[in-house]
Amino acid sequence: MMQLSNDTHCNKHSLLNVMNRFIAAANNMDETIMVPSLLRDVPLEDQDSQASVSHNNNDPPFPSKQRDMYEHYLLVKSLKNDMEWGLLKREMGGGASFLEMAVKQEEPPQVNGGAAEEGSDLEGQFHYHLHGLFAVLSKLTVQADHLTSRYKREIGGGSLLR
């Protein structure tokens, strides 16, 4: 019999840990932001905190196409929902998530014999997608935390209220 070890929960670099951190950050964001409509037309970047936030891999701070904090809030919430419920629910609804559309754009076109190549390097494909999943979830966690703290700061100062 195969036995699961408790090491997965202790390892901070495990996929489960990264997923749990993202879901916790998204839940915290959702519980904190009581009036999401206040985020409309508020730019995602905060010039004051832009210089003080540290970034990994020398990536731009928040390279996203969302124009305001409200769209970013909806994106994080939608991706959390996809993680918790899977893509089957979305496929039944007929819509595609932001993440699905991005993946479709990045997929290389299949050449002849694509089915034969599909199973040939499963380990390489697994590690490629696992690396991408870690990177995306880590960035989304940072963004959800940033959105939550910025919302708290802005609401406390009243600058989001018109």
pLDDT of residue 52: 44
Q: Is the pLDDT reported for residue 156 higher than 70?
A: yes
Alpha helix ranges (H) inside the chain: 7-10, 15-32, 47-50, 69-85, 87-93, 98-106, 114-118, 122-157
Pick from 10-24, 47-61, 73-87: least confident: 47-61
106 sits in the region (left: phi over 0; alpha: psi -120 to 50; else beta) called alpha
Q: Note the Cα 144 to chain centre separation in Å.
A: 8
End-to-end CA distance of the chain: 62
Q: What is the mean pLDDT of the chain?
A: 74
Highest mean pLDDT among 32-36, 63-67, 116-120: 32-36
Q: How buried is 121 (Cβ within 10 angstroms: 0-12 exposed, 13-18 middle, 19+ buried)? A: exposed
pLDDT of residue 32: 95
Structure confidence by residue, pLDDT tens digits, 102-131? 445 445 555 455 555 556 789 999 999 999
Q: Note the Cα 88 to chain centre separation in Å.
A: 19
What is the token pair recorded at 152?
């708290």
